[in-house]
Amino acid sequence: GAGVSQSPSNKVTEKGKDVELRCDPISGHTALYWYRQSLGQGLEFLIYFQGNSAPDKSGLPSDRFSAERTGGSVSTLTIQRTQQEDSAVYLCASSSGDTQYFGPGTRLTVL
């Protein structure tokens, strides 16, 4: 079946611009996660949505980062006023239980 999909696959932006990254989870999965993979920091948790509950935002590195999940399905991660240190691969995962399935990621480059 279809896995987790993310778009765009690559995004190059200028410092100070806003970006939106999209995640389409596996159909029927109630939980959705965002992680960031960067050199020197490894894989870091950002935010977690579970059904209609309030999201766990404990991993967001600053208030420039936000995410929403509409209709319990698609999610958008927004980074405002991007900085060079935001350059990373942003990964989305979804699950219906304890196992998370990852998408291919969006590689963000901030010039």
Partner 1 sequence: AQSVSQHNHHVILSEAASLELGCNYSYGGTVNLFWYVQYPGQHLQLLLKYFSGDPLVKGIKGFEAEFIKSKFSFNLRKPSVQWSDTAEYFCAVNGPGGGNKLTFGTGTQLKVEL
| Binding flags for partner 1, 54-73, as an x/- string (CB under 8 A) | --x-xx--------------
From its phi and psi, is residue 62 left (phi > 0), alpha (psi between -120 and 50) or beta?
beta
Instruction: Figure out which of the listed residues 8, 18, 43, 111 binds partner 1, where binding follows CB under 8 A.
Output: 43
Q: Does 45 bind partner 1 (CB under 8 A)?
A: yes
Give me the least distance between CB of 37 and partner 1, in Å please.
9
Give the largest Cα separation in the chain, rounded. Answer: 38
Asked if residue 21 lies in contact with residue 103, where contact means CB atoms within 8 angstroms, the answer is no
| Binding flags for partner 1, 91-110, as an x/- string (CB under 8 A) | x-x-x--xxxxxxxx-----
Give me the least distance between CB of 15 and partner 1, in Å please.
27
Q: Does 25 bind partner 1 (CB under 8 A)?
A: no
Q: Determine how many CB atoms are found less than 10 A away from the CB of residue 99.
A: 7
φ and ψ of 71, to 5 deg: 60, 20
Give me the least distance between CB of 26 and partner 1, in Å please.
13
Q: Which residues bind partner 1 (CB under 8 A)?
A: 31, 33, 35, 42-45, 48, 50, 56, 58-59, 91, 93, 95, 98-105
